[in-house]
Structures are given as C-alpha cells and as structure tokens.
Amino acid sequence: MKEINIKGMYPHITKDCFVPLSAKQRNALQKLDRKVKAQERKIYRYKAQFSLDCNDGIETEAVCHVPSPEELYLQKERNLEIHKALHRLPWKMRERIYAHFFLGMTVDDIARREDVKPACVRKSIDRGLDLLKKDTTFVENVQ
C-alpha cells in the first residue's frame, strides 16, 4: 500500500496529509486526474467554444422551436378571437390599434399619417383597449 499526499487535492487542507491507498484506488484516482487535465487542455485549446449539443437536440430545440399542431391551432383560434373583438370596435379605434400593435407603428407615426395630435391617437388606443377588456366574450375566449 502506497501513501499519497492529499494536500493538493483539497484547498482547505494547508498541511501535508498522507493517506494510504490500495493499487485499485490509486489507479482510479490517476484515471480521474488524467480526465480532469484532458478537459482543462480541451477548454484551453478550443477556448471553451465547443458545442453544448451532444446530438440530443437540446441546442437545436432551444434555437429553433417548432410549434406543435396543438400550439398552432390554439394560436389560430386566439388570432381569430382577437380579430372578431377588433371588428366590434369603432372603425377609427380599430385602425389605430391595428397600426400600433400589428404593424408596429409608433403613436407619432399614426398621428402624422392621420394629421392629428399624438395625444388624440394615444387616447383612442387606450379607449379601444379598455373596450376590449370590457368585452366579456373576447376575454373568456382568449383566456
């Protein structure tokens, strides 16, 4: 039985500490040490830029989420309910909400296009959203 110094293996041990090990334990410890050093070399050589995707699809799934048929159907139903609720609003409110939320236009752009004050457009959008919140059929169907 050989003795090894475990001082270097554990950072909290400051003095030499010799522990007797059998040949089997010593071989297992050397194997583990080689594995750790190989991993450190790999990280150093490749600057830790190796893929996390170990051919199990985790990385691909995180980057490229493909919705299930159920998710697609629910999204379609949600969009249909949103459009139905929008069509129950007055024309001007509907146009302004659609331009702001669906087309991504700013309130200032909408006001410039309609030649009105931005405060008018903002009020109209807020009132329209309040009406949508009060529309019980819309709220029940979307949730």
Task: Dig out the tokens for 130 from the structure.
Answer: 């309040």
Give whole-number Cα distances, 15 to 3, 4, 7, 88, 135, in Å: 15, 13, 6, 80, 75
- Residue-level pLDDT at 29: 84
Indicate the average pLDDT of the chain.
82
Higher pLDDT pick, 8 / 31: 31
CA distance 26 to 121: 77
pLDDT for 17-34, tens place per residue? 888 888 898 888 889 889
Considering the chain, tell me which residue range(s) the CATH 1.10.10.10 domain(s) occupy. Answer: 69-142
CA distance 30 to 2: 13
Fold type of domain 69-142: Arc Repressor Mutant, subunit A (1.10.10)
